[in-house]
Amino acid sequence: MPKFKEIQVGDSASMERIISLEDIEGFSNLTGDKNPLHIDQSFAEKAKFGARVAHGMLTSSFVSTLIGMTLPGEGSIITNISLDFRKPVFIGDSICTTIEVIKKIDLSKQVLIKLSVCNQHSKAVISGTAKAICQE
């Protein structure tokens, strides 16, 4: 886990994940979000995207994983996040979540992070920024 003083603008981290039916059902059970677009195959097939769509907050949650476990790492916490949901994610999609430090704020020991989530076709499904407080 890098300390704040070791983190540099341009540092980045990424992770890949295939979104499964179990991920969507588990997220739905955890949060109570039972929107039929996520959990009802018949409904979803007749809706705009023609298939069940993963929860946007499920797919964006891997940003938190990277920030809290990799960069800046354990003990850090997100204080602000802005997300643009650009395309749906479906069961079986492979997503790659990438974060990059774009600014360090020395006084408050925070970093500003640019984030993106892309699917297996290299299409951005989520973009945005986050700010995180780092451990000393």
What distances in angstroms separate CA 47 from CA 33, 38, 42, 85, 133, one per listed residue?
17, 11, 9, 18, 40
**What average pLDDT does the segment 95-103 reach?**
98
Residue range of the domain that includes 71: 4-133
CA angle, residues 11, 65, 122, in degrees to nearest 5: 70
CA–CA separation, 19 and 134 (whole Å): 29
**What average pLDDT does the segment 98-125 reach?**
97
Number of domains in the chain: 1
Whether pLDDT at 58 is above 90 = yes
pLDDT tens-place string over residues 1-15 = 678 999 999 999 999
**Can you give the CATH number for the domain in which 103 is found?**
3.10.129.10
